Structures are given as structure tokens and as C-alpha cells.
């Protein structure tokens, strides 16, 4: 092997590029959104991890970060935002409310966004500290880096999308 030669797989190169260029879409409804704002601030600086550009258009983003209490009436809105995102797309549920409904066990609160969209990473806490949100982003980066380019064509992924009634 001469100078300037190294071997890798195409999957690894694409995974490396994707994991270091995440474009998050914050869907924040309550106190977890405030913690996310702190995470994006200079003290924690999520930009160090390749998630500098926060977008507010689902067509330009690939990571949906749902933060806070989601009412049942908002469930279809979350799903519509998810569907408008380009493939490949990932979802993080930030905080107890987005993950499981939190302390709001009522008829009007969705008991976890995984009832309407598939969730890749859950970040616990009420509200979670900025360090926990950064850890969730690092977990999603690990998932993105190790994901096969063919995973989304597999039977397991297609079954998951059918479960959520997503074409």
C-alpha cells in the first residue's frame, strides 16, 4: 500500500458524512424547548457535534427533535412534519412528555410520540439537562454512522412504516 491509499466501504464514508452534517428540526412545545435553546447556546454549543444548522422547514431537515408535551390534536401535525422530511430521517423524543406523556396522564395528552411516528432515540428527564440532549444527539450520530445504506429498503423497516401507516 502506497502513500495516499486507504480502503473503506462506501457505507462508512456516507455514514461519516451524514453523522457530521445533521440538520435538526426542533418541534418544541414547552420547557424542554428552553433546555434545547441552552444546548444551542455558547456554553454547550451543539454545533461542535455537526448539528449547527437548525432548520425550521421540514423539507430541509433530517432530524426531528420533538420536545415537550404533545396534545392528541397535535399528533397529526407531528406526523405531517415527519412525512414532509426527506429520507433518510431520524427522530429524537426529548423529555418525559415527548417520550411517555410525562406527568400528564390525561385524555388530551399523547402518551409518547411513538404512537404517531417511529422514534430512534429517547432522551429522559423532566426537563432533560443540556448534557442529556447532547448525549441523545451523540447516540443518533452513532446510529446514523452505523446504518447500512440498504436498511431502509429492508423488510423490517417497511414493516415499521406500515405499522405507522406511512408509505
Q: Which tens digit of pLDDT belongs to each residue from 105-148?
A: 999 999 999 999 999 999 999 989 999 999 999 999 999 998 88
Quote the pLDDT of residue 117: 95
Q: What are the tens digits of pLDDT across the range 2-47?
A: 677 667 788 888 888 888 889 999 999 988 889 988 988 889 888 8
CB atoms within 10 A of CB 141: 22
How confident is residue 48, by pLDDT bands cut at 50, 70 and 90? confident
> What count of other Cβ atoms lies within 10 Å of the Cβ of residue 112?
19
In sequence order, the 6+-apart residues with CB closer than 8 A to the CB of 159 are none
Residues 65-101 as b or e (16 or more Cβ within 10 Å = b): bbbbbbeeebeeebbebbeebeeebbbbbbbbbbbbb
Give 118's Cβ-side CA count (13 Å radius).
16
Copy the grid coordinates of residue 16: 461519516
CB 124 within 8 A of CB 132: yes
Domains and CATH numbers, the chain: 23-163 (3.40.50.12280)
pLDDT score of 116:
94
pLDDT at 152: 81
Per-residue pLDDT of 49-107, as tens digits, reads: 887 788 899 999 999 999 999 999 999 999 999 999 988 999 999 999 999 998 999 99
Amino acid at each position: 500500500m502506497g502513500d495516499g491509499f486507504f480502503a473503506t466501504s462506501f457505507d462508512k464514508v456516507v455514514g461519516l458524512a451524514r453523522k457530521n452534517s445533521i440538520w435538526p428540526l426542533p418541534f418544541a412545545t414547552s420547557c424542554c424547548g428552553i433546555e434545547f435553546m441552552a444546548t444551542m447556546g455558547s456554553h454547550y454549543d451543539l454545533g461542535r457535534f455537526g448539528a449547527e444548522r437548525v432548520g425550521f422547514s421540514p423539507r430541509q431537515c433530517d432530524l426531528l427533535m420533538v420536545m415537550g408535551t404533545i396534545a392528541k390534536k397535535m399528533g397529526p401535525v407531528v406526523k405531517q412534519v415527519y412525512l414532509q422530511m426527506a429520507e433518510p430521517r431520524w427522530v429524537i423524543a426529548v423529555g418525559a412528555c415527548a417520550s411517555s406523556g410525562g406527568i400528564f396522564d390525561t385524555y388530551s395528552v399523547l402518551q409518547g410520540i411513538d404512537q404517531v411516528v417511529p422514534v430512534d432515540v429517547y432522551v429522559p428527564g423532566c426537563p432533560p439537562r443540556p448534557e442529556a440532549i447532547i448525549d441523545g444527539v451523540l447516540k443518533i450520530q452513532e446510529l446514523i454512522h452505523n446504518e447500512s445504506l440498504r436498511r431502509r429498503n429492508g423488510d423490517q423497516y417497511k414493516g415499521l412504516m406500515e405499522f405507522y401507516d406511512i408509505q
